Homo-oligomer: A and B are copies of this chain.
Amino acid sequence: MNIKNIKSEFPIFKQKINGKNLIYLDSANSSQKPKTVINEISSFYETEFSNVGRSVHTLAVKATNRFEETRDVVRSYINAKHREEIIFTKGATEAINLVAHSYGEKFIKSGDEIILTELEHHSNYVPWHYLREKKGAVIKFAPVDINGEINVDEFKKLITNKTKIIAFTHISNVTGTIMPVKKITDLAKSKNIPVLIDGTQGAQHLSIDIQDLDCDFYAFSCHKMYGPNGLGILYVKKKWIDELPPYQGGGGMISEVKKDNITYADSPTKFEAGTMQTAEVVAFAKSIKFLKDLGIKNIENHESDVLEYGLEQLRKNNSVKIIGNPKERASIISFTMKGIHPHDIATILDDEGVAIRAGHHCCQILHDKLGIPASARASIGLYNNKEDIDVLCEAINKCKKVFEV
């Protein structure tokens, strides 16, 4: 497998879009799936499917083993220390809701402070807003600068002895900013404040060493890692596992159920109520295998090349204004065009087979700060290459032609 012609591993690229080749630049939204992952879902359902952890028959044993194997694969991929630190969720959104709910219910009281940033995706803000509403907690936003960066000093300024958690994104899904994670976790640790990292845009672009990052919680979504939809991962540092109350209640997560009381299982089971996404979990092991076979360093380098080329080409175009200019940037270019609304850009690009996203990308706070209602976003996956950027640039020129700007 070579990253140069990796598109052939992804069946979607056989599609023509409006008669053109598909140039998929919407991977920050959701990535396409390699055929090994798709086939694994089918073949699991065809030959091994059964519910996990409930029955003792042959299929159930197979399915349970496959399911738990993925937990080990994920553990090792992010270099977590213990397998029970890996919890399967519906997605990053559920993962963050879980923490906000379980940690928040127990540890956050009226007047306590939660530090977020102006770069956060709604899923790393709305769950904390619930605590503001319910508990009277206070939310503070670390401000983003003109480059789309947030200096660690901004966090320093916001921390008080009421700060109960710091939650921020690993990589911005609008500016592509790679946050100075280590500096922030070091700072937080020195003040004994737990840290949640929204890794939804991180885990597919960078190699993650969770012990090195040393955060308390790390949330991400498998569907942005060339894996199945409807599945996410929450890493919970061991020290929190017994501390946190369970989240959803149901089958599997209990220890003893009596009419007057209920006790709960140990982690990870405690946090995995109800029937899980068996096939998705099993298939996700193939996504990680795919990433490892290519080599996450190779992916980083390749995407970096394409990103640099993209920035260079778009900067040449006077009508295009790129959002942010962070020193450390991954795989994402958001932009606006004078006189053309992002929505119209997206439609015209689509006519050329180029799939991008237009809107506020679930980052309304950031767009308000930038004073724009929406932007266009081209996001790069491992299957994109410089030729894709060339098509993008031509399609952008077509926008100018249609709108006569």
Residues of A that sit less than 8 Å from B by CB: 11-12, 14-15, 17-18, 22, 24, 26, 29-30, 32-33, 35, 37-39, 41-42, 45-47, 49-51, 54-60, 90-94, 96-97, 100, 105, 121-123, 125-127, 129-130, 134, 139, 141, 221, 223, 228-231, 248-254, 256-259, 262, 273-280, 343, 346-347, 349-350, 354-359, 362, 364-365, 368
Contact = CB atoms under 8 A, between A and B. Distances in A.
Which of the listed residues A29, A251, A343, A362 has the most CB atoms from chain B within 10 Å of its own CB?
A251
Given A17-B59, A93-B250, A97-B273, A45 B129 contact: no
A206 to B, nearest CB: 20
B357 A257 contact: no
A51 B39 contact: no
Given A45-B11, A54-B29, A249-B130, A355 B276 contact: no
Contact of A94 (B32, B274, B354): B274
Nearest to A342: B56
Contacts of A230: 90, 230-231, 275-280
Contacts of A17: 57-59
A249 B129 contact: yes
Given A17-B59, A55-B29, A250 B97 contact: yes
Given A47-B12, A350-B57, A229 B280 contact: yes
Contact of A279 (B55, B129, B228): B228
Determine which residue in A15, A22, A42, A278 has the highest number of CB atoms from chain B within 10 A of its CB, and name it. Answer: A42
A381 to B, nearest CB: 12
A105 B125 CA distance: 20
18 contacts: A11-B46, A12-B45, A14-B47, A26-B60, A33-B45, A56-B358, A93-B250, A123-B273, A125-B257, A125-B262, A127-B248, A221-B274, A228-B279, A229-B278, A230-B279, A254-B364, A258-B365, A259-B368
Given A17-B57, A123-B251, A230-B280, 9 more contacts: A12-B59, A17-B58, A29-B54, A93-B273, A97-B249, A125-B257, A126-B257, A129-B262, A139-B259
